[in-house]
Structures are given as C-alpha cells and as structure tokens.
Structure 1
Amino acid sequence: MTLLEVRDLEVTYPGGAAAVRGVDLALAAGRKLGIAGESGCGKSTLALALLRLLPAGTRVSGEVLLNGEDVLTMRWGQVRAVRWAGASIVFQGAMHSLNPVHRVGDQIAEPVLLHRGATAAAARRRAGELLEHVGLPASRAAAYPHELSGGQRQRVMIAMALACDPRLIVADEPTTALDVMIQAQILRLIERLVADQDVGLIMISHDLAVLADTCDRLTVMYAGRVVEEGPARQVYEDARHPYARALSAAFPRIGDPASRFAPHGLPGDPPDPAALPAGCAFHPRCPVPLDVCATRDQPLRDAGPDRRAACVHVGAAVPGPASAAEDARSTS
C-alpha cells in the first residue's frame, strides 16, 4: 500500500516565487526515497509542504495523501494529530533545531506528553528508550545540546522524530554538517530504523552519492520541478537528464583517477524562482541545449524501465556536446 502520494504539488511564496511546480511523488512503507538538487531547487519547501509547515501567505495546491488522507485539506486539529504521530521531520542543523536551554531528554519527551497523553515518568522512560535505540546511553537525556557532539545531536533529532512512532520520516540534509565517519554512522542508523520499524523515509540532500548509497529511488529536482526519477543507483551512475548527470559528476568516484584529478562542475546557479526563464529552466546552464529548449518546457518522458527524465534528448543516453550539435543541425 502507498504510504505517501503527492499529486501535482505547487508552492508559491508571497511575492511570486514558484518554489515547487507540479511535483508528483509516491512512497510505500519500508521504502526510501531520495530527493536531490542544489540549494534553491525546492527540496526543503517540498518537505515543509508535506506537513503544512510553510509560512502564512504561501499558496499551495495539489494533493498530499498520507495514508489516503489529504493533508492539505485537513482541519488544523487533524494536522496536529498527523505531525509527530503520522509523519515527522528531521531538520538540518541539529544545533539550531534543539533548544539550547532544555535538556535533550525533556525535548524528546515533549511530543510524547503532548500527543500520547503519557505521564511525565512514562515520557522520560520513552526518551531513554529512544536514545538507546539510536545508539546513545539513556543517561545522555540529562545533557544539554552543547554538551553533545554533532553526531550525538543528530541522533537526538532522530530520536525525537521517532518519539510517537510515525509511519513517515522526512530527513532534510541530516548529515550535511557531519564528518564522513559520523555521516556513515548516521546513514546506517537511518537505514536500520527504516528496516526495523517499516517506516517510509524521504531523505533530502544535494549529495547524489549519499542518496544512491542509502535510498531505493532517487528524484532529482531543478527550479521546483522533478527533472529525473528512477532507481537510485541507476540515476546516479547513468543519469539521463544533463542536470542530474552534472550533479553526479560533481562527486569524485573512489578509485577513479580521472574523476579525482579532473572533477566536473556546473557553472552558474539555479534561477530565481520569482523570475524563471522561458522554456526549460535548465537550458541557460545546459551543456547540450537545442533551440526548442529555450521556448518549450519538457515533460517527464520514459527514460528506461521504471525511469523518467524531463529532457528533449531522452530516448537514448544524454548526448555529449558533439552529438547535440548534430541533433541541432538535423532538426533545423
């Protein structure tokens, strides 16, 4: 059964910034979906929209079906019940998300008190159990956030997200500020929790390598739209959209001297959501644009078994600059 289904989601901030444009997603319990893209591509906005955490004045349309119920049309009482118990978010930057003047055990216990109606003693016990579940001793419940390392704080954030046994966890850049050894530990922890508790996971990151190693499927966003989606390892190793391919190439492969000594990058930045270019939003940065790309946006097309990509070149592998030039001559 589908745990989460997002249909034609549109999010526009006050002032006209179109941060999310027509996004469709689906996730089953026990599965892991990665969402990738540079800063400004709409990943975090999408995450906040799932639980109606966007600022006042933001226009949201479409459907966000969690266990078949549309979060966007729920009454506020229903939304409060869904948050924590139905779905929870692990925000990026644990030190900024935790309250510095409260002990971490109290912060983990708070949603248990509010949403489960537990006694104070039961909530404290639950906090200790959750800390042990994420690999910390229950005694660390008495610590303040500044007394913990970055990896320990991130484990506290994950414990908080699990406090009310949600079916869906959204992890927004959960390992960005961590060193590679701690990052690996947190990723393995998240994988284990998903498998043990049969929850659905959405992991958001700019790092395709992390998502390919952790998730079942991968969605790549650019300028608020999905530009490629498919099995995570396939998208990472054989991207069909030029943007997804550029993201993948930006990370050197271990044991590959060519990528180590000649890393690839992508010039420029994603466009301003309030002033998107005509046609395909990626065409000003695209290494293989055609004339049609400047005037016509590209829909998601079949790019192989269980894969789609929004590029005029889709149907075969994304061409290099030489073959793109030949395509341009043949269509002129």
Structure 2
Amino acid sequence: MTLLEVRNLEVTYPGGVAAVRDVDLSLTAGQKVGVAGESGSGKSTLALALLRLLPPGTRVCGEILLNGEDVLTMRWGRVRAVRWAGASIVFQGAMHSLNPVHRIGDQIAEPVLLHQGATTAQARRRAGELLEQAGLPAARATAYPHELSGGQRQRVMIAMALACDPQLIIADEPTTALDVMIQAQILGLIQGLVTDQDVGLIMISHDLAVLADSCDRLVVMYAGRVIEEGPARQVYENALHPYGKALSASFPHIGDPASRFAPRGLAGDPPDPSDLPSGCAFHPRCAEALDVCATEDQFLRESGQGRRAACVHVPVPAGDNARGHDTRSAS
C-alpha cells in the first residue's frame, strides 16, 4: 500500500526562486527512501513541503498524498494533527530544534499531551519509554539540552519524532554534525526503529554512501529536480546520470584503493535557482554533455529494473521504442 505519493510538486520561494521543480516521489509502509544531492539541490525544501513547513509567501503546486489525503489542501487543524500522528520530521540541528530552557522529557511529552489526550503522568511515562527506545536512560528526561552530547540530542529528536506513533518519518541530514562512530549508531537506530514499527522513512543527505547503506531506494536531486532514481545500492555503485556518478565518486568506496587515495570531485557550483541555465541544468558542469543538452531539457527516462535517469546517455531496455519519452507523471 502506498503511504506517500508526491505528484508534480513545485515549490517557488518569493522572488521567483524555483527550489523544487516537478518532483514525483512514492513510498510504501516500511520502505526507506534516500534523497541525495549537493546543498541547494532542493532536498530540505522538499522535506519541509511534505509537512507544509515552508515560510509564508512560498508557492506550492502539485499533490502530496499521505494515505490518499492531500496535505496541501488540508485545513490547518488537520495539518497540525498529521504533523505528529501521520508524519514527523527529524531536523539536522538538534540544538536549534530543542528548547534550551525546558527539560527534554517535557519536550517529548508535549505532543503526547496535545495529540493523544494523555494525562501528565502518562505523557511523562511515555517520554521515558521513548528515550529508552532511542537508546537513552529514562532518567535523562530531567536533563536540559545543553547537558547532552550531540549524539544524545539527536536521539532525543528521534524519540520526539516517534512520540505519536507516526506512519512516516522524515530525517533531514540527521547525522551531519556527528562523528563517524555516533553517526553509525544513529543510522542503525533509525533503521531498526523503521523496521520494527513498519513505518516509512525518507532520509535526506549529501552522502550517497550513507544512503546506499541505509535505504532501499535512492533519489538524486539537482537544481530542484529529480535526475535519477532506483535501488539505492545500484545508484551508488553504478549511477546512470553523470551527476550521480560524480557524487558517488566524491566518497571513497570501501575495498577500492583507487577511490580511497584519489577521490574525485565535481568542478563548479550548482546553479542559482533563480537563474537556471537553458536545457539540462547540469550541462555546464557535465563532462559528457552533448550539444542538445544545452538547448533541450532532459526528463526521467525508464531504464529497466526500477531505474530512471534524466540524461541523453541513459540506456533504454531492448525493445523499448520510447527512448527519450517524458515520464514525469510516472509514480
């Protein structure tokens, strides 16, 4: 059963800045989908749009169906309920998300009080259970955010996200500020909770290696648009789009000395969303660009085995006569 389906999503900030362009995305219960890309590719804007957390004045078009109900057309009262019981979000900066003058137990208990009608004692007991579920002693509920380490604060954010038993968790760069050992622990915790509770997960990161190890499917974004998607390990190890290849090559592959000692990067910077180049937005940085790439935009092409990429070089399965067809409306 489809838990989340995003159709033709477009997000434009005031001033005509097109941060997300024509994005389709689907997710089933228990599935883990990774969203990758450089800073400015539209990843976090996509995450915020899913729960209508974008600033006033932002224009959002398309559909965001959560269990068949369009988040974009919900009344505000319904949106507030959905943000906890239907879907919740784990932000990358835990210290900026937690209130510094309130104990963490009270902050975890707050959504339980508001959305589940629990008594104060029940909410505090639930907060302790959630902390233990996230790998912290229940006794830490009396601590203030500044009394915890970065990894502990991130566990608090995860506990808070689970407070009202959501069906979908959106994790926006949940391990960026953590060291490698703590990062591995947090990723393992998130994966275990998703599996045990059969919830859907959207994990956002610039690190393809992390997403390949943590997710079932991988979506790569560039200049606000999805330019490749498919099984996570396949996209990481054998990207079809030149941008996906460049992202993958930017990180050393375990067991591959060549990538370890000579990691490759990508020259230049992502384009300004308010001044995108003509044709394929990636063509100014692409070593494989053809003349047509500078004049004609490229849309996702089916390439078999659940893979799609927006590139003229994408191989199409034998017998498919629709090479280059527009699959923007595909689920």
RMSD: 1.0
- Contact 2:35–2:221, Cα closer than 8 Å, also in 1: yes
- Contact 1:10–1:62, Cα closer than 8 Å, also in 2: yes
Other-structure match for 1:291 = 291
Amino acid at match of 2:133: H
The CA deviation at 1:304 is 2.7
Whether 1:222 aligns to 2:218 is no
Whether 1:264 aligns to 2:291 is no
Whether 1:96 aligns to 2:109 is no
- Contact 1:11–1:61, Cα closer than 8 Å, also in 2: yes
Whether 1:19 aligns to 2:41 is no
Amino acid at match of 1:149: S
Other-structure match for 2:234 = 234
Q: Mean alpha-carbon deviation: is it higher for 259-268 or for 218-227?
A: 259-268
Whether 1:274 aligns to 2:274 is yes
Other-structure match for 1:72 = 72
The CA deviation at 1:268 is 1.0
Other-structure match for 1:320 = none
- Contact 2:302–2:316, Cα closer than 8 Å, also in 1: no
Aligned ranges for residues 171-320 of structure 1 at < 5 Å?
Answer: 171-315=171-315
Q: Secondary structure at the match of 2:235?
A: helix
Amino acid at match of 1:143: A
Amino acid at match of 1:179: D
The CA deviation at 1:186 is 0.5
The CA deviation at 1:254 is 2.2
Aligned residues: 317
Structure 1 unmatched runs, 5+: 318-332
Amino acid at match of 2:240: R
Find the aligned partners of 1:153 and 1:93 in 2 and give their Cα distance: 9
Aligned ranges for residues 115-134 of structure 1 at < 5 Å?
Answer: 115-134=115-134
The CA deviation at 1:305 is 1.2
Other-structure match for 2:40 = 40
Q: Secondary structure at the match of 1:107?
A: helix
Other-structure match for 1:52 = 52
Other-structure match for 1:112 = 112
The CA deviation at 1:261 is 1.7
Q: Secondary structure at the match of 2:130?
A: helix
The CA deviation at 1:316 is 6.7
Identical pairs, percent: 83
The CA deviation at 1:269 is 1.1
- Contact 1:240–1:303, Cα closer than 8 Å, also in 2: no
Amino acid at match of 1:308: R
Find the aligned partners of 1:148 and 1:275 in 2 and give their Cα distance: 43
Q: Secondary structure at the match of 1:284?
A: helix
The CA deviation at 1:101 is 1.0
Find the aligned partners of 2:117 and 2:186 in 1 and give their Cα distance: 30
The CA deviation at 1:227 is 0.3
Which whole-Å deviations, capped at 9, do the CAs of 1:141-177 have from their partners, x for residues lacking one? 0011111111110000000000000000000000000
Amino acid at match of 2:95: M
- Contact 2:104–2:145, Cα closer than 8 Å, also in 1: yes
Q: Secondary structure at the match of 1:22?
A: strand
Other-structure match for 1:6 = 6
Which whole-Å deviations, capped at 9, do the CAs of 1:78-134 have from their partners, x for residues lacking one? 111101110000001111111111111011011111111211111100000000011
Q: Secondary structure at the match of 2:19?
A: strand
Which whole-Å deviations, capped at 9, do the CAs of 1:226-275 have from their partners, x for residues lacking one? 00000000000000000011000000112322112211000111111111
Whether 1:164 aligns to 2:164 is yes
Q: Which runs of 4+ in 1 moved over 6 A?
A: none
The CA deviation at 1:303 is 2.1
Which whole-Å deviations, capped at 9, do the CAs of 1:184-230 have from their partners, x for residues lacking one? 00011001100110100000000000000000000000000000000
Structure 2 unmatched runs, 5+: 318-331
Other-structure match for 2:325 = none
- Contact 2:92–2:173, Cα closer than 8 Å, also in 1: yes
